[in-house]
Chain A
Amino acid sequence: MSEPVLEARDVAKHFPVGRRGVVRAVEDATLALLPGRIVALVGESGSGKTTLARVLARFYPPTSGEVLLHGRAGTGRRGYHSDVQLIFQDPFGSLNPLHRVRYNLERALRLHHRTRDRRELERQVLDLLERVSLSPAGDFVDKFPHELSGGQRQRVVIARALAVRPKVLLGDEPISMLDVSIRLDMLNLLARLRDEDGLALLYITHDIASARYLCDDIVVMYAGRMIEGGPKEDVIARPRHPYTKLLIESSPDPGRGEDDRAALFDGADELGEPPSLVNPPAGCRFHPRCPFAMPECEQSPPPRTDLGGGHWAHCWLHQKGRAGDLASTTHAAAPALRAAGPADAPGAADDCGDGKEEGP
Chain B
Amino acid sequence: MTSQTQEHAPATPAAHRAVLRVDGLSVEYAGEVRACVDVSFTLRRGEILGVAGESGSGKSTLITALTRLQRPPAVTTAGRILYHGRDGGPPVDLVTLDDKALRDLRWTSLSIVLQSAMDALNPVLRLGAQFADALRAHDRRMSKKEAWQRAAELLAMVGISADRVRGYPHQLSGGMRQRAAIALALACRPDLVVMDEPTTAVDVVMQRQILSQVLRLRDELGFAVVFVTHDLSLLLEVADRIAIMYAGRIVEIGTARALYTGPKHPYTQGLRDSFPPLHAPLRPLSGIPGSPPDLRRPPPGCAFHPRCPERFDGCDRILPELVPAAGHEVACLLYPAGGDR
B209 pairs with A181, CB closer than 8 A? no
A180 pairs with B231, CB closer than 8 A? yes
Q: Known: A179-B55, A270-B209. Is A213-B203 also a contact (CB below 8 A)?
A: no
B291 pairs with A182, CB closer than 8 A? yes
Stretch at the interface among A254-262, A304-312, A338-346: A254-262
Q: Known: A252-B233, A269-B212. Is A358-B286 also a contact (CB below 8 A)?
A: no
User: How distant is the Cα of A11 from the Cα of B168 in the complex, in angstroms?
Assistant: 37
User: Which of B171, B260, B279 lies at the interface centre, i.e. has the most chain A CB atoms within 10 A of its CB?
Assistant: B279
**B45 adjacent to chain A (CB < 8 Å):** no
B206 pairs with A273, CB closer than 8 A? yes
Shortest distance between the CB of B212 and any CB in chain A (Å): 4
Stretch at the interface among A56-64, A138-146, A160-168, A242-250: A242-250
Contacts of B67 in A (CB 8 A): none
User: How distant is the Cα of A220 from the Cα of B90 in the complex, in angstroms?
Assistant: 55
- Report the contact-size class of chain A (Cβ under 8 Å from the partner): 35 or more
A356: nearest residue on chain B (CB-CB)? B171
- Among residues 66 to 121 in chain B, which have CB atoms less than 8 Å away from a CB atom of chain A? none
User: How distant is the Cα of A181 from the Cα of B216 in the complex, in angstroms?
Assistant: 31
**Number of B residues with CB within 8 Å of any CB on chain A:** 58
User: How distant is the Cα of A251 from the Cα of B163 in the complex, in angstroms?
Assistant: 31
B286 pairs with A208, CB closer than 8 A? no
- Among residues 275 to 292 in chain B, which have CB atoms less than 8 Å away from a CB atom of chain A? 275-280, 282, 284-289, 291-292
Q: Known: A208-B278, A271-B208. Is A179-B163 also a contact (CB below 8 A)?
A: no
User: How distant is the Cα of A253 from the Cα of B172 in the complex, in angstroms?
Assistant: 29
- Among residues 133 to 177 in chain B, which have CB atoms less than 8 Å away from a CB atom of chain A? 159-161, 163-168, 170-173, 175-176
Q: Known: A184-B285, A209-B278. Is A149-B159 also a contact (CB below 8 A)?
A: no
A181 pairs with B287, CB closer than 8 A? yes
**B298 adjacent to chain A (CB < 8 Å):** no
17 pairs of residues in contact across A and B, judged by CB atoms under 8 Å: A181-B287, A184-B276, A206-B203, A208-B204, A248-B278, A250-B208, A252-B233, A254-B232, A266-B216, A268-B208, A269-B159, A270-B209, A273-B206, A332-B212, A349-B160, A353-B173, A358-B163
Q: B interface vs A, CB < 8 Å?
A: 54-55, 126, 159-161, 163-168, 170-173, 175-176, 203-209, 211-213, 215-216, 230-234, 236-237, 260, 270-280, 282, 284-289, 291-292
Closest 7 CB pairs of A and B: A359-B167, A213-B276, A184-B287, A254-B236, A253-B278, A250-B208, A268-B212
